[in-house]
Amino acid sequence: MGFSRCTLVAFLVISVVFGIVNGDPLVPALCIFGDSVVDVGNNNNLHTLIKANFPPYGRDFITHKPTGRFCNGKLAIDFTADYLGFDSYPPAYLSQDARGRNILKGVNFASAASGYYDRTAQLYRAVTLTQQLAYYKDWQNKVVNLVGKDKANALFSGGIHLISAGSSDFIQNYYINPILNHVYSPDQFSDILLQSYSTLIQNLYTLGARRIGVTNLPPTGCLPAAITFFGFGSNQCVARLNRDAISFNKKLNATSQYLKTKLPELKLVVFDIYNPLLDMILKPTDNGFFESRKACCGTGIIETSFLCNARSIGTCSNATQYVFWDGFHPSQSANEKLAQSLLEQGFDLIS
C-alpha cells in the first residue's frame, strides 16, 4: 500500500525542483473534462437520473457528505490535485462554488454519462463534451476578465487539462443500443469516438492549452455491473468487452502520437488506467484488497447512481478493501492507487 519507493523519490525531487514546498502548486491550473469517473457534481442540478449526490455516496469523503462524486470518497483526480500541491479541488463548473476568484485554479466540466459521442450524453441529459468545450471558452473569458490577458494566457498554457471519456460511450450506449451496434462494429465505433477526441484536442490547442492528459479505457469487461449485464451468468471478466477496450486504447495511442506530431507545442500524455486497474481486479490480495468482483454498495453486482442509495440492502460497512465502490466505479482506495500510477506516468506533463 502507499507510494512505491520510486514514486516517492521522484515525487520529492519534482516537488523540490518545482517549488511545491513553497506552497505553490506545480502547475497554475487544473481543468477536467469527461464522465462520471471525474464528475464532482455537475450533474447535481441537471434533469438527469445519473447522479450521486445522496448517501451512501461520499460517506468517506473529507466532509463525509455526498458531493456528486461517484465514489465513497475521493476520485483519482482529487488525489492528483493533492499531489500537484493544490489546496482545493477544481469546483464543478455548474455549481455555486465556481464563482469569482474560485475559478482561477481551474474548474471541472465533467458530467456523468458523457462521452466522446455527443449522443451518449444526450440520451441521459448529461453535458456533452461539445458543451463542456463551450463552457471552457466561457471560463477562459471569465479568467481574462479577472486577471488580464497575459496572466490568463500563461494559466491556459501552463495548466493541466485532463480528459476521461469513452466508457459511457460503450457501456451506457453502444452495447445496449441496437441502432449503434447493428450498424457499426466496435472498431468502427472506436473510430467515430477517436475522431471526436481528435477534434477536442485540436480545439483545446487552438484555445491555448498545451498540457493535456487523457485516460484510456479501463477493463470495461471487469466492471461488476458489466459482468452481471454482459457476462451471461459467468463471474469472470467479459473477454469481448476487454478486447474492445484494448483495441480502442491502441487507437487512442496512435491518434495521440499523430496529434503530437501535428501540434508541435503540445504535451499530450495517454494515462494507462487499463493495466493498473486490471492488476487490482485480478490480484486483489497483492494490492491490499479482498474483493474485486462485488462492489461495496448494495448487492455489489448491479447498483450505480440512483440504485445505490441509503436504502440499498447489503452495502458493506467498510469499503477500504473493495476495488469497486459501486457497479461501475472504483472505491476511494482503488482511486488512490490509480492516482499514484498516474503520477508516475505524468512527469512529462509537469516538466
Ligand X SMILES: *[C@@H]1O[C@H](CO)[C@@H](O)[C@H](O)[C@H]1NC(C)=O
Q: Please list the active-site residues.
A: 36, 326, 329
Closest separation in Å from C-beta 289 to ligand X:
9
Residue 250 touching ligand X (CB under 6 A): yes
156/136 Cα distance (integer angstroms)? 11
Residue 191: count of CB within 10 angstroms of its CB: 14
- The residues, any chain, with a CB within 8 Å of residue 174's CB and separated by 6 or more, are 180, 181, 184, 186, 189
- Both ends of the chain: CA-CA distance in Å? 27
Choose one: 63-71, 177-185, 247-255, 300-308; the region binding ligand X (CB under 6 A).
247-255
Closest separation in Å from C-beta 222 to ligand X:
16
Place of cell 462492489: 295
| Ordered alpha helix ranges (H), the chain | 5-18, 76-83, 118-123, 129-147, 149-158, 167-171, 178-181, 186-206, 224-230, 239-262, 274-282, 332-345, 347-350
Q: Per CB under 6 A, which of residues 266..285 are in contact with ligand X?
A: 270, 272
CB nearer to ligand X: pick between 30 and 193: 193
CB nearer to ligand X: pick between 220 and 249: 249
Residue 12: count of CB within 10 angstroms of its CB: 13
Q: Per CB under 6 A, which of residues 15..54 are in contact with ligand X?
A: none
Question: What length is written for the chain?
Answer: 351
Exactly one of 253, 314, 347, 351 binds ligand X (CB under 6 A); that residue is 253
Residue 234 touching ligand X (CB under 6 A): no
Exactly one of 246, 259, 307, 350 binds ligand X (CB under 6 A); that residue is 246
136/325 Cα distance (integer angstroms)? 30
Closest separation in Å from C-beta 255 to ligand X:
11
φ/ψ of 214, rounded to 5, equals -130, 135
Residue 122 touching ligand X (CB under 6 A): no
Closest separation in Å from C-beta 248 to ligand X:
8
CB nearer to ligand X: pick between 297 and 302: 297
Site string for ligand X, 214-233 (x = CB under 6 A): --------------------
- Grid cell of 15 as nine digits: 516537488
Closest separation in Å from C-beta 177 to ligand X:
25
CB nearer to ligand X: pick between 219 and 224: 219
Residue 201: count of CB within 10 angstroms of its CB: 23
Exactly one of 42, 111, 164, 249 binds ligand X (CB under 6 A); that residue is 249
192/346 Cα distance (integer angstroms)? 27
CA of residue 256 relative to chain centroid, distance: 18
34/328 Cα distance (integer angstroms)? 15
Choose one: 19-27, 34-42, 80-88, 246-254; the region binding ligand X (CB under 6 A).
246-254
Closest separation in Å from C-beta 272 to ligand X:
6
SS3 129: helix
Cα–Cα nearest to 350, from 83, 79, 34, 3: 83
Q: Per CB under 6 A, which of residues 299..338 are in contact with ligand X?
A: 318, 320-321
Applying CB under 6 A, the site for ligand X has a residue count of 9
- Grid cell of 67 as nine digits: 458531493
Closest separation in Å from C-beta 291 to ligand X:
11
Cα–Cα nearest to 214, from 172, 247, 174, 260: 260
**Using an 8 Å Cβ cutoff, are 42 and 109 in contact?**
yes
Choose one: 86-94, 115-123, 245-253, 278-286; the region binding ligand X (CB under 6 A).
245-253
Choose one: 43-51, 105-113, 128-136, 242-250; the region binding ligand X (CB under 6 A).
242-250
Which residues of this chain interact with ligand X, rule CB under 6 A? 246, 249-250, 253, 270, 272, 318, 320-321
